[in-house]
Amino acid sequence: MYQVKSVKCGRQGCQKCPHPGYLYRYFKEDGKTRCEYLGKLEDIDFDKLLEMEEERLYWKYGFIRHTKERHKALEKIRLQIEGIKKLLNVDEKVR
């Protein structure tokens, strides 16, 4: 699952905190929820991100086995990424 977060910079007296537009990926590993920082939204290559997820799902579900589950998971990820792209476009129009 992907999440766009606003983050406090930690600088004392910063008038712009929290700073918006940081992308994180949440996933389960060894029964625990993990969080991975992916970068600023404007720096993210969404095509590369989708390729990375396709590769991850390939190794998780195998090449032939569980193709239905892999397809469902990939479609869910595509929808999340498209939602983030739309959010980014709306933010750019507001600026």
- Whether the model pTM is above 0.85: no
* Residue 32 to residue 59: CA distance in whole angstroms: 19
Domain residues for the domain of 65 are 2-94
Q: How many domains does the chain have?
A: 1
CB of 70 closer than 8 Å to CB of 60: yes
Evaluate if residue 95 carries a pLDDT over 50.
no
| HSE toward the beta carbon, residue 70, CA cutoff 13 A | 15
Q: Tell me which amino acid residue 57 is.
A: L
What pLDDT, in 10s, does the model give residues 5-22? Answer: 888 888 888 888 888 788
What pLDDT, in 10s, does the model give residues 41-59? Answer: 878 888 888 888 878 777 7
Q: In what order do the strands lie in the sheet with 19-29?
A: 2-7, 19-29, 32-40
CB of 81 closer than 8 Å to CB of 50: yes
